[in-house]
Amino acid sequence: MNKLFSFLLAVMVLASACQTPTKTTENMNPFFSEYETPFQTPPFDLIKVEHYMPAFEQGMQEQVDEIATIVANTNEANFENTILAYDRSGALLDKVSSVYFNMQSTDNSDEIQEIARVITPLLTKHSDNISMNMALFTKVKAVYERRNDMNLTAAQKRVTEKYYNDFVRNGAELTGDAQTQLKKLNEELSKLQLQFSENQLAETNKNFKLVVDKKADLAGLPAGVISAAAEVATDNGMEGKWVFTLQKPSLIPFLQYADNRDLREQIYRGYFMRGNNDNEFDNKDIARKMAMFRSQKVKLLGYDTHAAYAIDVNMAKTPENVDEFLMGLWKPALIVAKQELKEMQKIIDREGGNFELQSWDWWYYAEKLRKEKYDLDESEITPYFQLGNVRDGMFWVAQKLYGITFTPVSNIQLYNPEAEVFEVKEANGEHIGLLYLDYHPRASKRPGAWQTSFRESITMDGEKVSPLVSVVCNFTKPTGDLPSLLTFDEVSTLFHEFGHALHALFTAGEFHRTAGVVPQDYVELPSQIMENWAAEPQVMRHYARHYKTGEVIPNNLIEKIQKSGHFNQGFVTVEYLAASLLDLSWHNLKADENIENSLEFEQQAMDNIGLIEEIIPRYRSTYFSHIFSSDYYAAGYYVYIWAAVLDSDAFDAFKQSGDIFNTELAQKFRKHCLSECGDDEGMVQYRKFRGQDPSLQPLLIKRGLN
C-alpha cells in the first residue's frame, strides 16, 4: 500500500493507543512473521479476526518508532535518512491493512465491522499526527528545498516533491487551532464515511427483497434469471418462491425483461431509495454533513472548495475545466437520450400502453428497442458469454499483447473458497505475480466490481517484490446445470477490472509513493482501454462459445453487437454525466454554505443541468459510495469519462496501425502507461506512448455522439 493510499485510507493510528503484543500473541499471530507460504501469500487459513488489532497495534508502534528515528537523527537531512526512510516505514502496518481492508470489502462480518468502528477514528488521528508532524515536515522540506543540489536521480527528486506536497496538502504548515480543527474534521469525516458504507451495505444486501410467489409474475424473464431467483429464495427459506435482490445481476435483468410493470417499479424504487427510507440506515444527513465538513476542511488548507482541492493534483487541474468538459458532452448526450425516449414511447403507444415512460420502464423498453432496431436480444447473446470462457479470452488478449501467461495455482490459500488464483509469468517464464479472481455476490461482499492488491509491486534494494493482485466482481452465480453466463456489459466489466490488474502487475518503481501512482483522472485509462478488445470481433470469436454446444458465436450476432454499439448511449452517458455533475455540485460548496436538505439540493443540481425525469443519476446522493464511502472519488467521479477520452484515443492508435495486437504499440503502452506511469505526470507519460495529445473525436465516434 503506497503512502498516498495510506494517507487516503488513514492506515495509521494514534501512538498512545499502541500496545506491544505479548510474546505468546506474537508467536501465534501470522502477521508477526514472514509468511511461510508459496510466493509469501497471506495464510488466510491462519488469520483470525482476533489477529487484526494486535497486528495493527504493533505495526503502529513500529511506524511511530521509525518516524521518531527520522526526527531524532542529528545528521543533516538527506534523501536516504529522510525521504527513503519515510517511504520504507510502516511495513507491518501496510501488511495488516492490505488484508484487513480487503476482507472488509469481500467477507465482512459483525466482528470485522466492530473492528472498523474502533480503529477508524484512531487511524485517522494518527495519520493526522504524522502528516502534521512539524519536526518530520521540517526534514522533508529541507530535502525538498535542496533537491536540485543533491545529485538526486529523477525518481528520487520526484518522490521528494510528492512527499513534500502531500505534507502541505494534509496540513503540515497549519498551526495551533487550525491544526486542531483539521484533525477534528478528519476524525468526523472518517466516522461518517464508515457509517455511510455500512448503511449502504445493509440497504443493498439485507433490507430489500422482491418476493414473487406467482409464476405468472415471472413472464418475460429468461430461464437463467428465474432459476437464480429460485435459488436465492431457497437460500432464504422460501422454497417454491422467487427472490430478486438489489444486486445488479438480479436487478438489471428484472428491469430489462419482466413484463409486470408494477413489480419493475417496486424493485427499482427499492434500488433508488436506498439510504433514503427514514430508518436507521438513512444516509441523507450523512451526505449533507460530509459535504459541508469537506468544504470547511479545505478552507483551512487554502482552497475555496473541496473540488478545487481535489482536482488541483489531477490532469484537469480546475473544477472549471471539468465542468466545461462534462457540459460539452452533456449537450449532445441529452439530445440523443431524448431521441431514445421518443422511440421507446412510440413502442408503448403502439402496444396500447396508456402511460408515459417512467424511469423503471427504461431498461424494459430499451431492450425492446434494441430488438426492433438491431434484431438483438440480450438473452440471445448471453449464452455465448460463459464466465470461464470470457476469463480465458481476456487472458488470451493479454498474451497476444504482452506475451504473458496465466497458470492456475492450487497450493495457494484463498481468502474465500469462491475465489481462484493464477500465477502470471513473462513469455520467458519469469514470475510477475499472482492474480486472484472473485466473481460472485455474497451477503458479506459490497456491491460493484473493483481491483485491489494484497501486496504491491516495488523494487527494494535491487530486489523486486512481486505483486498479489485481486479482481472482485458481483456476477450471476451458476445455478443447477446452468453455468455463470454474463451479459455483454458484465463481459466489459471483467475486461475493465483486468486492465486495472495489468496495471498493478506491471508496475515498476523504487518507491511506494510513486510506483504505479498516477493522477486520479488517469487511473481508468489502463482499465477502460481493455474494454475495447472485449468488443472486437476477432477477440469475441475466441471467447464467445455457446455454453451448451460449444459453437463459436456466429458472425451475424457479432455484426448485430457491433451495429448496436451506439445503442442506448444517450441514456448511458446522461446517467453517468448526471452523477458526475451531482458530485461536483456537492463538492463545489464553500465553507460558509449550509445545506439543510440533501434531496432538495440534489434535485436543484439536476434541474440546473436539465436532467429529464425519465433518467435518474447513476448514483443518487444517498447511495453514492464513490464519493461518500471514502475521499478517493470525492469531486472525482468525472474521471471515468476523462479517461475514456484517453482510452479511445489510445485504442485508435492500435486500430489505425491495422493490427489490434500490434506488439510494438503494446510494449510502448506497457512501458509508458502501465509500468513507468508513476515516473512523470500523467499527460507526459501518455504523450510518450502516443506521440501527441489525445483527441476527443474517437470517443464521440465510439458513442455515436459526434
Tell me the DSSP string of 113-138. HHHHHHHHHHHHHHHHHHHT-HHHHH
H-helix or E-strand spanning residue 470: strand 468-472
Query: Is-catalytic flag, 497?
Result: yes
How far, in Å, CA of 605 to CA of 618, rounded? 14
Alpha-carbon distance of 298 to 317, in angstroms, equals: 16
Q: CA nearest 200: which of 273, 119, 124, 290?
A: 273
User: What is the rounded (10 degree) CA torsion for 247, 253, 258, 262?
Assistant: 30
Distances in Å between the Cα of 119 and the Cα atoms of 108, 115, 303 are 15, 6, 29
Q: What is the DSSP letter of 15?
A: G
In angstroms, the Cα distances linking 343 to 253, 265, 572 are: 21, 21, 16
Sign of torsion, CA 49 54 59 60?
positive
CA dist 74 → 82, 83, 363, 483, 606 (Å): 11, 15, 67, 65, 58
Q: Give the Cα separation of 491 and 535 in Å (integer).
A: 9
Handedness of CA 469, 473, 478, 483 (dihedral sign): negative
Long-range pairs, 548-556, Cβ under 8 A, ≥24: 548/383, 553/381, 553/384
Please enumerate in sequence order all residues whose Cβ is within 8 A of that of 625, keeping only pairs 6 or more positions apart, or say none: 196, 197, 200, 446, 447, 448, 619
Under 8 Å CB-to-CB from 126, ≥6 apart: which residues? 10, 12, 13, 14, 15, 17, 60, 63
Report the alpha-carbon distance of residue 634 to residue 341 in Å, rounded: 31
Q: What DSSP string runs through 654-688?
A: HHHHT-TT-HHHHHHHIIIIIISGGGS-HHHHHHH
Give me the catalytic one of 367, 497, 531, 575: 497
Q: Do residues 486 and 536 lie in contact, with contact meaning Cβ atoms separated by under 8 Å?
A: no
CB proximity list for 620: less than 8 A, separation 6 or greater = 272, 276, 582, 602
Q: Within 13 Å and on the Cβ side, how many CA atoms surround 64?
A: 18
Q: Which of 239, 244, 240, 276 is nearest to 260 (CA)?
A: 244
CA distance 417 to 421: 11
Set of cell numbers at residue 190: 472518517
SS (H, E, C) 518-531: CCCCCCCHHHHHHH
Cα Dmax for the chain: 85
Distance CA(398)–CA(401), nearest Å, equals 5
Give 403-465 as a DSSP string: --EEEE-SSS--SSTT-EEEEEE-TTS-EEEEEEEE-S--TTSPSS-EEEEEE--EEETTEEE
For 509-633, where are the alpha helices, taking DSSP H only? 525-534, 537-543, 555-563, 569-587, 598-609, 625-628
573: Cβ–Cβ under 8 A, 6 or more apart, which residues? 329, 333, 336, 337, 641, 703, 705
Residue 669 C-alpha from the chain's centroid: 22
CB environment 31-46: b (16+ within 10 A), e (fewer)? bbeebebebebbebee
Residues annotated catalytic, as ranges:
497
